[in-house]
Amino acid sequence: MTEEIQNNREEFAMQVGEKSDRRSKARSEKKRGIWFGLGMFGLVGWSVTVPALLLLAVGIWIDRTWDSGYSWTLMLLVLGVGLGCLNAWYWVKKESEDQD
């Protein structure tokens, strides 16, 4: 029984230490303020919006130029949003790696 209590105490101490490390890391990163957050918000927004709008415009042009049984506008819009999300994921991942 006492060995189990000792293991629980060690596990608890490790959890407290990990939380303390995360807090101290978060406090040391305060140099990145609200402008950094707004910049990242803008970067992610534009990285999704630009490909989506470009492919949307191409889809509209294709639909107006050629008759087709498919909606190129819708297909290219979905593709543009997907590419934009991959692009945003890349930038967020790159920024999080830079912080480490």
Supply the pTM of this predicted model.
0.59
Q: Which residue has the tokens 């609200």?
A: 34
Contact 92, 48 (CB under 8 A): no
Closest to 73 measured CA to CA, from 88, 86, 54: 54
Instruction: List pLDDT tens digits, range 16-55.
Output: 888 877 777 766 655 666 776 677 777 788 889 999 999 9
Number of neighbouring beta carbons within 10 Å of residue 18: 10
Instruction: List pLDDT tens digits, range 65-84.
Output: 998 888 999 999 999 999 99
Burial (0-12, 13-18, 19+ Cβ within 10 Å), 76: buried
Number of neighbouring beta carbons within 10 Å of residue 51: 21
